[in-house]
C-alpha cells in the first residue's frame, strides 16, 4: 500500500509497479467499498494530495481532500453549494469518481473541470476534462466506467457567494437530518442506487402510491417493502433505520454483507421486477 501526497511520489510508485508487474487499485476513503475476505492481490494507492486553494468563486481541491474539510473551507470563505455533502465520509477524488450525491444533489453540479493521470501512459501526463467530458450520470462518471484506471488528481469547483451564517445553518440542518435517519454502526454507505422509474414503466401500472421523487424510487423503500429490515447474516445486518444500509454489528465478514446484498436483489426482483444495482464497489472478488 502506498500513501501518495505528490506527483513525484505517484510517479515513483508507478515505476515500482511496472518493475514488479503489480496491478493496482485507487482508494479514496473506502466509504463505498466492500473488500473480499481473501484480500486483494495487488497494490493499493491511497491518494492523500489534500491541497485546497480558491480563485474568486472557484475552489481547487486535491483528490485526497476529505469532503468535510472541503465544506469547512467553503464555510470560512463564504462559498455555498456543497452543504448537502456534510457527513459523507469520503474524499474529493471519490466524489468525482462516483458522482457522489445526497439530499437531491450531485457533486457534478459544481464541477468545472477535473485533472487526472492516465495509468496507461508511461510518463503519467496530467490531463484535464471539462464537466461534459467527465460524462457524469447518476452515481456514474467517465472515470468509473473507464477501463484505463485513471488517477483523479484535482477538481475545479464553481461555487456561489453566500453569508457564512446561512451556510452554517444549512450545514447544521443537513447534518441533523443525516444523523436522525442513518445508522450509527459502521457500513459502506448506501448499498444500492435508487431506481430510475423511467427504466421500469411497469411499476406505475402495477403498484399504487409509490413514493417517487424527482423520477427516482428509493432502493431502501423496496427493500423495506420486502420485509428485510433487520435481516442478518453473521454479524452483518440490514439496518433498521434505513434499509439501504448494511451495517457491521462488530465482526461481520465481507461474505456476510455479500449474502445480504444478494438476498435484497432476489427479493426485490421477485416482488417488484426491479434489478437493484449496487452503488458500492467490490474489490478482490472473483
Smallest Cα–Cα separation from 151: which of 16, 32, 14?
14
| DSSP 3-state percent helix, strand, coil across the chain (nearest 5) | 35, 25, 40
How far are the Cα atoms of 91, 114, 231 from residue 246, in angstroms, in the given order? 21, 32, 9
Give which of 228, 253, 226 is closest to 239, Cα–Cα: 228
Instruction: Catalytic residue, from 139, 154, 231, 233: name it.
Output: 139
Q: Of these residues, 31, 108, 141, 190, which one is catalytic?
A: 190
178 in active site: no
29 given a catalytic annotation: no
Residue 258: left if φ>0, alpha if ψ -120 to 50, beta else—which one?
alpha
- The residues that bridge with 62 in the sheet, in sequence order, are 154
279 counts as catalytic: yes
Catalytic residues: 139, 190, 279
Amino acid at each position: 500500500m502506498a500513501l501518495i501526497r505528490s506527483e513525484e511520489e505517484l510517479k515513483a510508485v508507478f515505476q515500482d509497479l511496472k518493475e514488479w508487474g503489480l496491478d493496482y487499485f485507487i482508494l479514496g476513503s473506502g466509504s463505498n467499498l466492500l473488500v473480499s475476505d481473501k484480500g486483494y492481490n495487488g497494490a493499493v494507492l491511497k491518494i492523500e494530495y489534500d491541497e485546497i486553494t480558491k480563485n474568486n468563486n472557484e475552489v481547487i481541491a486535491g483528490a485526497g481532500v476529505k469532503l468535510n474539510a472541503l465544506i469547512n473551507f467553503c464555510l470560512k470563505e463564504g462559498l455555498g453549494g456543497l452543504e448537502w455533502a456534510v457527513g459523507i465520509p469520503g474524499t474529493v477524488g471519490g466524489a468525482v469518481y462516483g458522482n457522489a450525491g445526497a439530499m437531491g444533489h450531485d457533486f457534478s453540479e459544481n464541477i468545472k473541470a477535473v485533472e487526472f493521470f492516465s495509468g496507461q501512459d508511461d510518463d503519467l501526463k496530467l490531463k484535464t476534462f471539462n464537466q461534459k467530458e467527465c460524462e457524469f450520470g447518476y452515481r456514474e462518471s467517465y472515470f468509473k466506467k473507464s477501463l484505463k484506471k485513471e488517477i483523479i488528481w484535482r477538481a475545479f469547483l464553481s461555487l456561489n457567494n453566500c453569508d457564512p451564517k446561512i451556510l452554517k445553518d444549512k450545514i447544521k440542518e443537513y447534518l441533523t437530518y443525516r444523523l436522525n435517519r442513518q445508522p450509527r454502526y459502521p457500513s459502506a454507505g448506501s448499498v444500492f442506487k435508487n431506481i430510475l422509474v423511467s427504466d421500469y414503466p411497469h411499476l406505475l401500472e402495477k403498484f399504487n402510491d409509490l413514493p417517487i421523487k424527482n423520477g427516482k424510487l428509493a432502493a431502501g423503500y423496496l427493500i423495506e417493502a420486502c420485509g428485510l429490515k433487520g435481516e442478518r447474516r453473521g454479524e452483518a445486518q440490514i439496518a433498521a433505520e434505513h434499509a439501504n444500509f448494511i451495517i457491521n454489528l462488530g465482526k461481520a465478514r465481507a461474505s456476510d454483507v455479500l449474502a445480504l446484498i444478494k438476498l435484497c436483489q432476489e427479493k426485490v426482483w421477485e416482488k417488484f421486477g426491479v434489478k437493484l444495482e449496487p452503488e458500492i464497489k467490490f474489490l478482490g472478488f472473483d
